[in-house]
Amino acid sequence: MVKILLVCSAGMSTSLMVNKMKDSAKAKGIEAEIWAVSDAEAADNLPNADILMLGPQVRFLESKMKEIAGDKPVTVIDMQAYGTMNGEKVLEQALGLLGK
């Protein structure tokens, strides 16, 4: 089971990406828990996640989130994949960073 936390400014635009990523995980037979929260809720949700992915619109939070995350990977979602809502590509980005 891989647990992927997505963070954006309000948690709204990323919810569509969550659904696309869940569909891709299901199609690939990957057990995944994927959810999105606002940046204000990130610290509270981080203990339950294997990786934190930031929406491109909050990329400025990357260094702050890395401090909070400790040894967990933190990355910014590929802007093109986000813009086209390519859930498969974003899932692959997360799995790659997790070495899966």
Q: Which distant-in-sequence residues (6+ apart) come within 8 Å of 96 by Cβ?
A: none
Q: Which of 73, 44, 74, 72 lies closest to 59 in space, CA to CA?
A: 74
Active-site amino acid positions = 8
Q: Which of 44, 39, 29, 28 is nearest to 6 (CA)?
A: 39
For residues 49 and 35, what is the distance between their CA atoms, to the nearest angstrom? 9
